[in-house]
Amino acid sequence: MIGLDPAIAARLKRNPDGLVAAIAQQRGTGEVLMMAWMDDEALHRTLTTRRGTYYSRSRQQYWVKGETSGHTQYVHEVRLDCDGDTILLVVDQQGAACHTGDRTCFDADTLLKPEG
């Protein structure tokens, strides 16, 4: 079985559970949609299929965004931050990104509003 490119895997700084934070951002607008977790296999699947694939810590299994809801993510670009501990997915999101049905996971709870 072919997995994640070893050159990419070597650059990742994983947490103690072997996971890296992944941020999904809307292509064109820059809107931050959601945060989820990836391990090497989830990243490999995302890079090869261009479908946002993540690892569920609670269910301890992989999930593809939109597989059950129909709210899919087509991945245009994947970037690794300078520290190697966060992945950015630039996506076209169809429908809600949040499991609550909100457009983004950051719609419901504003802790500090813009001035003015």
Domain containing residue 54: CATH number: 3.10.20.810
Q: For residue 112, is it within any domain?
A: no
Q: What is the pTM of this model?
A: 0.92
The Cα diameter of the chain in Å comes to 56
- Closest by CA to 17, choosing from 38, 1, 3, is 38
pLDDT one-digit tens code per residue, 49-104:
999 999 999 999 999 999 999 999 999 999 999 999 999 999 999 999 998 999 99
Domain range enclosing 69: 6-93
Q: For residue 74, is it within any domain?
A: yes
Q: For residue 72, is it within any domain?
A: yes
Q: State how many domains the chain has.
A: 1
- What local confidence, expressed as pLDDT, does residue 2 receive? 74
Q: For residue 10, is it within any domain?
A: yes
- Say how far apart CA 39 and CA 21 lie, in whole Å: 9
Q: For residue 98, is it within any domain?
A: no
pLDDT one-digit tens code per residue, 22-35:
999 999 999 999 99
